[in-house]
């Protein structure tokens, strides 16, 4: 059943939901593009970020958007340490071992959260949680609009870091040619850890933008992890613009898929497009040739 008056709000819903996906995928695409690893712990780390935002709000009344100031550096430090001390050491540079290490990490994080934070679902009620913005007849919540702005900003900042800084150049060098980078004196381990740190910093930002519009529970990571991978592959691994566009695309496809095929079967649209892109253009919409 497709009423025309739903189309416009559905498009906006898709786009703003897609922005949230893009935010979550930005961190993943960097890690994926540079370290070429599939980080199974991405969802659990997002959950950890969401809990941080939740507790900051609950105990110290820190507004989620103000919490950005704590979450971004905090998650960066966590990411740097994790890559340096756990993932880098445990994986011995083997893909299959990275997979197991990040899988182990996700099991640990999820269950520690379950033990210490409890299994219940938490949410925060801010003054603007349910405030609405009207855009040409479609109602959107303020947090969703803010998340869209956040996604665009994060994407721009990442792009600047990659294009304009020495760090960015080093990261790009390593992504392209690991051995060569080592030979010209780049500290590969350090850059790996920096990439992972920046990836998690993005995730921290994502957590700040997501919580006012959503909820957190120890299981919440699973809600977003598959869709984040989809976005990354669609957009092309390592491409920030790709993630942004991929996120929007997934959001919109999901939205219209749900409208046309029903919310349950509608999920299939995203996966079919995902498979098609992988088959016919495996480098993604914005990626370089593999």
Partner 1 sequence: MKQTRRIFIKHTAAAAGAMGFPLIGGAQPAPIKIGVLHPVTGALAFPGQQCREGTMLAIEEINARGGIKSMGGAKIQPVLGDAQSQPQVGAAEVEKMNEQGVTAIVGAYASAICLAHTQAAAKYNIPCIIDQGVAEQIVQRGLKNVFRFGPGYEKVVRAGINYLHIMNTVAGRPIRSAVLVHEESLFGTGTAQQIARDLPAMGYEVLETIKHANPTRDFNNIALRIKSRNPDVVIPSSYLNEYVLLLKTLKQQGVAPKAIYSIFGGGGSNPKVIKENPGDVDLVLDCNHWYNPKNPKSREVRARAEKKGLFFTHEVLMAYTVTMMLGDALERAKSSRREAVLDALQASTWSDHIMPYGPTKFVNGQNEGAQPLVTQYLKGDVKVVLPNNFAEAEAVFPARKG
Partner 2 sequence: MTPSAVRSLLFIVAFLAAMALLPAFIRSEFWLTFLILALYTASLGQAWNVLGGFGGQYSFGHAMFFGVGAYAAAVLQVRFGINPWVTLGAAFVLGGATGAMVGALTFRYGLKGSYFALVTLAFAEVFRVLANTFEFTGAGVGMMIKLAPGAANFQFVAKTGFYFTILSIVAAGLMVAWWLKHSRFGAWLTAVRENEDAARALGVDVFRVKLGAITLSGAMMATGGVFYVQMFQYIDPPLAFGAGISVEALLVAIVGGMGSIFGPLIGAFTLALVNHTTTELIGRAPALSMALYGLLLIVMVTFLPNGLIGGLASLARRLGLRQRSGGDE
**Contact positions with partner 1 (CB under 8 A) in 14-33:** 17
Q: Which is nearer to partner 1, 72 or 151 (CB)?
A: 151
Which one of the spans 3-11, 60-68, 145-153, 235-243 is the region binding partner 1 (CB under 8 A)? 3-11
What is the closest distance, in whole angstroms, from the C-beta atom of residue 16 to partner 1 in the complex?
Answer: 9
Is position 97 an interface residue for partner 1 (rule: CB under 8 A)? Answer: no
DSSP secondary structure, the chain, as one string: ---HHHHHHHHHHHHHHHHHHHHHHHHHHHHHHHH----TTHHHHHHHHHHHHHHHHHHH---TTTTHHHHHHHHHHHHHHIIIIIIHHHHTT-HHHHHHHHHHHHHHHHHHHHHHH-SS-B----TTTT-EEEETTEEEEHHHHHHHHHHHHHHHHHHHHHHHSHHHHHHHHHHH-HHHHHHTT--HHHHHHHHHHHHHHHHHHHHHHHGGGS-B-TTHHHHHHHHHHHHHHHH-TT-HHHHHHHHHHHHHHHHHHHHHH-TTTTHHHHHHHHHHHHHH-TTTTTPPP-
Tokens of residue 201, six digits = 């910093």
Q: Which of 7, 99, 157, 285 binds partner 2 (CB under 8 A)?
A: 99
Is position 1 an interface residue for partner 1 (rule: CB under 8 A)? Answer: yes
Phi (first) and psi of residue 282, to 5 degrees: -60, -20
Residues 6+ apart with CB under 8 A from 113: 44, 47, 48, 51, 218
Q: Which of 3, 96, 120, 125 binds partner 2 (CB under 8 A)?
A: 96
Which one of the spans 65-73, 89-97, 124-132, 200-208 is the region binding partner 1 (CB under 8 A)? 124-132
**Contact positions with partner 1 (CB under 8 A) in 175-204:** none
Is position 111 an interface residue for partner 2 (rule: CB under 8 A)? Answer: yes
Is position 224 an interface residue for partner 2 (rule: CB under 8 A)? Answer: no
Pattern 36-65, partner 1, x by CB under 8 A: -------------------x----------
DSSP secondary structure, 67-94, as one string: THHHHHHHHHHHHHHIIIIIIHHHHTT-
Which one of the spans 129-137, 139-147, 198-206, 263-271 is the region binding partner 2 (CB under 8 A)? 263-271
Q: Which does 65 bind (CB under 5 to 8 A by kind): partner 1, partner 2, none?
A: none
Q: Which of 69, 160, 163, 275 binds partner 2 (CB under 8 A)?
A: 275
Interface residues with partner 1 (CB under 8 A) are 1, 3, 5-6, 9-10, 13, 17, 55, 111, 114, 116-121, 123, 125, 130, 132, 139, 141, 214-215, 217-219, 222-224, 227, 255, 258-259, 262-264, 267
Interface residues with partner 2 (CB under 8 A) are 32, 36, 38, 86, 89-92, 94-97, 99-101, 103-108, 110-112, 114-115, 226, 229-230, 233, 237, 264-265, 267-268, 271-272, 274-275, 278-280, 282, 290
């Amino acid at each position: 059943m497709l009423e025309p008056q739903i189309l416009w709000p559905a498009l906006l819903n898709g786009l703003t939901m897609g922005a949230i996906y893009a935010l979550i995928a930005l961190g993943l695409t960097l890690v994926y593009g540079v370290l070429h690893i599939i980080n199974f712990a991405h969802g659990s780390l997002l959950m950890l970020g969401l809990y941080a935002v939740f507790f900051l709000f609950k105990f110290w009344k820190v507004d989620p958007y103000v919490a950005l100031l704590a979450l971004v550096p905090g998650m960066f430090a966590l990411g740097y340490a994790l890559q340096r001390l756990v993932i880098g050491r445990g994986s011995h540079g083997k893909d299959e071992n990275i997979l197991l290490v990040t899988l182990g990490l996700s099991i640990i994080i999820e269950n520690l959260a379950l033990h210490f934070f409890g299994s219940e679902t938490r949410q925060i009620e801010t003054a603007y949680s349910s405030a609405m913005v009207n855009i040409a007849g479609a109602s959107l919540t303020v947090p969703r609009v803010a998340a869209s702005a956040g996604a665009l900003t994060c994407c721009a900042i990442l792009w600047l870091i990659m294009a304009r800084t020495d760090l960015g150049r080093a990261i790009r060098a390593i992504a392209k040619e690991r051995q060569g980078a080592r030979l010209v004196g780049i500290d590969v381990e350090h850059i790996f850890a920096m990439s992972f740190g920046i990836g998690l910093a993005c995730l921290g930002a994502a957590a700040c933008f997501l919580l006012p519009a959503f909820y957190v529970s120890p299981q919440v990571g699973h809600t977003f992890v598959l869709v984040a991978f989809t976005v990354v592959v669609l957009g092309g691994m390592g491409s920030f613009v790709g993630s942004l566009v991929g996120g929007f695309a997934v959001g919109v496809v999901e939205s219209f898929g749900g409208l046309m095929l029903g919310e349950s079967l509608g999920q299939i649209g995203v996966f079919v497009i995902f498979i098609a892109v992988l088959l016919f253009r495996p480098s993604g919409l914005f990626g370089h040739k593999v």
